[in-house]
């Protein structure tokens, strides 16, 4: 009986999630018809808890898929606030490949064993 009540309550809610190296938070918010991602974030008060979040900079998604702040939510959705990337992934891969080529040349083209 308790599980049914919990399941019903979860159907009427959405989650707002944010993570840093030192803290991860998932907050639950009641869903009202037409609730947007931006409104859910505001209702969760997560911006007070993590003042570094700037919704003009931080991107948001629902279950790992990028979305807009005006996206209307469905019960059970999880709004995720993403931190900005520290480094460009393509540039990091390029640097790694360049280092690998340099090491290969230093070893006379022979693999290390």
Which residue did the predictor score with more confidence, 23 or 90? 23
The stretch 36-62 carries a mean pLDDT of: 97
| CA-wise closest residue to 26 among 78, 83, 82, 66 | 78
Please report the domains of the chain, with CATH numbers, ordered by start residue.
2-81 (3.10.20.280)
Q: Is the Cα torsion angle 69, 67, 73, 23 positive or negative in sign?
A: negative
Least confident of 2-16, 31-45, 57-71: 2-16
Q: What is the pTM of this model?
A: 0.70
pLDDT band at 8 (very low <50, low <70, confident <90, very high): low
pLDDT of amino acid 95: 80
Give tens-digit pLDDT for 37-48. 999 999 999 999
């Amino acid at each position: 009986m308790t599980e049914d009540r919990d399941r019903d309550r979860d159907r009427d809610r959405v989650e707002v999630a944010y993570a840093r190296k030192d803290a991860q938070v998932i907050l639950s918010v009641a869903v009202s018809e037409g609730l947007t991602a931006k409104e859910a974030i505001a209702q969760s008060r997560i911006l007070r808890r993590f003042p570094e979040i700037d919704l003009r900079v931080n991107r948001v998604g629902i279950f790992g898929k990028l979305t807009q702040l005006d996206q209307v939510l469905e019960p059970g959705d999880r709004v995720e606030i993403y931190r900005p990337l520290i480094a460009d992934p393509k540039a990091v891969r390029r640097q790694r490949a360049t280092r690998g080529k340099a090491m290969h040349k230093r070893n006379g083209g022979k693999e290390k064993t």
